[in-house]
Amino acid sequence: MPEPIITPAAATIATATAAVPALTAFGVNLGLRPDVLVAGFAGALVAIVLLHSVPAEGDTWQHLMRATFRRVAVALASSLTAGYITPLALLMANLPDSLLLGVAFAVGAGAQSILRGVIDRIKPLPNGAGGVAK
């Protein structure tokens, strides 16, 4: 009897590499894919470096530490935003799943301005404070 071309072990390895596991923290499935988080983080770094979305205020070590902390916080928040918003953006725009990482990169790069716009729409600031008044 000839040996089969695909063994059960090879089939298991092939399906395991195709499926991307979701992240788990403290035994709770977060529903986040690591590849989407990395793409969102890369988008956040591009926004910080090229678009100068988190400028420094001064040149003392206190100002540099504060700006560094803000940049790290923006990168982490943008990465999480990309992780949770990208699947929703794909559904809303009716895009194929092959564009997942590209959309995650774009969401990570624009997360700071996107979140500010959403917050302004949900909870407007008073007149004269730069927000949308109702």
* Whole-model pTM over 0.75: no
**Are the C-beta atoms of residues 44 and 110 closer than 8 Å to each other?**
no
- β-bridge mates for residue 119, sequence order: none
From 80, 88, 101, select the one nearest 20 (Cα to Cα).
101
* % of residues, the chain, pLDDT over 90: 25
Give residue 6's pLDDT band: very low, low, confident or very high (50, 70, 90): low
Report pLDDT for 57: 79
**Are the C-beta atoms of residues 88 and 107 closer than 8 Å to each other?**
no
Give residue 113's pLDDT band: very low, low, confident or very high (50, 70, 90): confident
Measured in residues, the chain has a length of: 134
Residues 51-93: pLDDT tens digits? 777 777 778 888 888 888 988 998 999 999 999 889 888 999 8
Q: Which residues contact 22 (CB under 8 A, 6 or more apart)?
A: 29, 30, 31, 32, 33
